[in-house]
């Protein structure tokens, strides 16, 4: 994977690109995450596809412009501009958690740019933060207060434990990158900006306009984005399939990487099941 930066509307986007492969998978990470979340399966995906994974503004190594709008709509538009900047067309989108919702936003706004969608634990029924929560985000030095009191070891441990709840668990080197991400000041600023600016997830009426062949993959024990949200998407997307991984939480790529790859290959590679 080669590492690159590209500027889009003043935002310096970090991405990794395998460069080779006829079909292209563009991978979108989730909330308080980065392209690192794809590492457990990325090298395997490059055997069959050109794989591109980028860090969303506010996360990982991407540096957002001062006036970047932290809305789902704008994240979707930025995804479109990123793909067009690379001169690509008819790509597949692979999204996890918040990245799944952003993939849906992009597919709705420019359907002809995309071919298939593969969504893992995609957020689907999230509401805009409450008025009180939004007001907190406007308080001067709220990011410093959050850093001092909410993003230190104890609170981070609680957050991580919920993400991993119900799954097989992670330890040591596999867990540390997620802890480190939670403690970055830029991430805290992004969380607060999302708290102020993000809107509700897509309405049922909007979801029904998406006609792309879509594969929904869920951990049965996901405590962050429950299986009910996967069932909601499956009811409202016109051309979707819902598959479930038993004894799995919110990070299937880490918990069951080869199971995820099996589902992904089965969806994207014709006759894959007949070849195995």
In terms of phi and psi (left: phi > 0; alpha: psi -120 to 50; beta: otherwise), the region of 19 is left
Mean pLDDT for the chain overall? 85
* Structural domains in the chain (count): 1
Is residue 175 included in any domain, yes or no? no
Contact between 112 and 130 under an 8 Å Cβ cutoff? The reply is no
Is residue 258 included in any domain, yes or no? yes
pLDDT in tens, 95-110: 999 999 999 999 999 9
pLDDT score, position 136: 46
Beta strands in the chain (DSSP E): 2-8, 11-17, 24-28, 50-54, 91-96, 114-120, 213-219, 240-245
Q: Which two tokens stand for residue 131?
A: 């008025």
Residue 141 above 50 pLDDT? Answer: no
In terms of phi and psi (left: phi > 0; alpha: psi -120 to 50; beta: otherwise), the region of 26 is beta
Is residue 147 included in any domain, yes or no? no
Is residue 59 included in any domain, yes or no? yes
Q: What is the CATH number of the domain that holds 29?
A: 3.40.50.1820
For residue 48, give the nearest of 16, 17, 24, 15 by alpha carbon: 24
Is residue 187 included in any domain, yes or no? no
- 242: containing domain: 2-129+200-275
Is residue 139 included in any domain, yes or no? no
pLDDT in tens, 178-222: 667 666 667 667 777 776 676 777 899 999 999 999 999 999 999
Is residue 14 included in any domain, yes or no? yes
Contact between 15 and 55 under an 8 Å Cβ cutoff? The reply is yes
**Global confidence as pTM:** 0.86
Is residue 156 included in any domain, yes or no? no
């Amino acid at each position: 994977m080669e590492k690159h930066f590209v500027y889009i509307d003043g935002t310096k986007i970090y991405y990794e690109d395998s460069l080779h492969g006829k079909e292209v998978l563009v991978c979108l990470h989730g909330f308080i995450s980065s392209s690192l979340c794809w590492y457990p399966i990325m090298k395997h995906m490059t055997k069959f596809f050109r794989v591109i994974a980028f860090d969303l503004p506010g996360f990982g190594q991407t540096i957002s412009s001062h006036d970047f709008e932290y809305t789902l709509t704008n994240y979707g538009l930025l995804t479109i501009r990123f793909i067009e900047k690379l001169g690509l067309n008819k790509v597949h989108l692979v999204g996890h958690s918040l990245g799944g919702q952003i993939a849906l936003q992009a597919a709705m706004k420019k359907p002809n740019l995309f071919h298939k969608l593969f969504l893992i634990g995609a957020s689907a029924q999230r509401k805009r933060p409450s008025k009180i929560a939004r007001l907190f985000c406007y308080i001067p030095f709220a990011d410093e207060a959050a850093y001092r009191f909410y993003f230190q070891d104890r609170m981070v441990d609680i957050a991580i434990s919920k993400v991993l709840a119900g799954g097989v668990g992670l330890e040591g080197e596999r867990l540390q990158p997620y802890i480190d991400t939670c403690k970055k000041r830029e991430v805290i600023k992004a969380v607060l900006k999302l708290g102020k600016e993000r809107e509700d997830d897509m309405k049922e009426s909007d979801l029904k306009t998406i006609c792309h062949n879509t594969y929904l993959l869920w951990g049965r024990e996901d405590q962050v984005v429950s299986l009910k949200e996967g069932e909601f998407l499956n009811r409202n997307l016109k051309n979707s399939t819902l598959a479930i991984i038993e004894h799995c939480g919110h990070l299937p790529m880490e918990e069951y990487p080869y199971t995820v790859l099996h589902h992904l290959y089965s969806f994207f590679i014709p006759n894959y099941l007949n070849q195995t």
